[in-house]
């Protein structure tokens, strides 16, 4: 008779632990550490070379691993619903990277107050084009390297913005967004 309550107690604790673990998986995507979502922090932490580059303050290697792991795009995907202006979003993400690691993206300089500023001027045409292309399902992100702006497709393909905007002018994008976007290939 003594074993029955112990068995029930063990079952209760097992159930409580299972509920806590399940709760963590449900809540974790909404929690951040240093403004980075916990699942992305975990993804980074599980890459020993990336962690080593971070701890050694090797900004070139760190940038390589952030790109390879897709960390920047993951963080952008997390913040995109709150920051819809793609250039503001990119600057925000790079500001976070700078504050955490000292990494400064090629498209930015640091002012006297430690705030990143774009090296290149804002392009209102790009902003309008990107919003429509995103809504149409053609792009999920963008980046700038050596003065060239690239757009990133849902498949991860990077195309120079100038070429993408020629293939999909704003008039075509408006039509695509009015018709529900691009259908996936069959």
Alpha carbon separation from 35 to 8, 29, 38, 41, 84 (Å, rounded): 41, 12, 9, 10, 17
Per-residue model confidence (pLDDT) at position 35: 87
Q: Rounded distance, CA 26 to CA 30, Å?
A: 8
Q: Rounded distance, CA 153 to CA 86, Å?
A: 14
The answer to whether the beta carbons of residues 152 and 89 sit under 8 Å apart is no
Domain boundaries, the chain: 27-119, 121-181
Tokens representing 116 are 């990143």
Q: Output the CA torsion 127→132→134→135 (10° steps).
A: 140
Work out the end-to-end distance of the chain between its first and last CA atoms, rounded to an integer number of angstroms.
Answer: 64
Q: Rounded distance, CA 77 to CA 82, Å?
A: 10
* pLDDT mean by block of 10 residues, the chain; 186 residues: 65 72 65 86 90 88 89 91 86 91 84 87 80 90 80 90 94 86 52
Q: Rounded distance, CA 43 to CA 51, Å?
A: 10
DSSP code of 28? G
| pTM, two decimal places | 0.57
């Amino acid at each position: 008779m003594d074993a029955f309550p112990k068995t029930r107690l063990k079952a209760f604790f097992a159930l409580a632990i299972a509920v806590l673990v399940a709760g963590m998986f449900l809540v974790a995507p909404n929690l951040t550490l240093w403004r980075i979502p916990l699942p992305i922090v975990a993804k980074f932490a599980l890459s020993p070379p990336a962690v080593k580059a971070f701890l050694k303050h090797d900004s070139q290697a760190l940038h390589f691993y952030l790109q390879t792991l897709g960390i920047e795009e993951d963080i952008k995907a997390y913040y995109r619903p709150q920051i819809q202006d793609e250039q503001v979003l990119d600057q925000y993400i790079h500001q976070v990277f700078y504050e955490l690691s000292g990494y400064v993206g090629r498209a930015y300089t640091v002012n006297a107050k430690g705030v990143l500023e774009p090296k290149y001027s804002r392009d209102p045409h790009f902003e309008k084009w990107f919003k429509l292309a995103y809504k149409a399902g053609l792009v999920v992100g963008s980046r700038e390297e050596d003065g060239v702006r690239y757009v990133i497709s849902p498949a991860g393909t990077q195309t120079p913005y100038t070429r993408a905007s020629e293939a999909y002018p704003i008039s075509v994008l408006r039509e695509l967004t009015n018709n529900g976007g691009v259908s996936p290939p069959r």
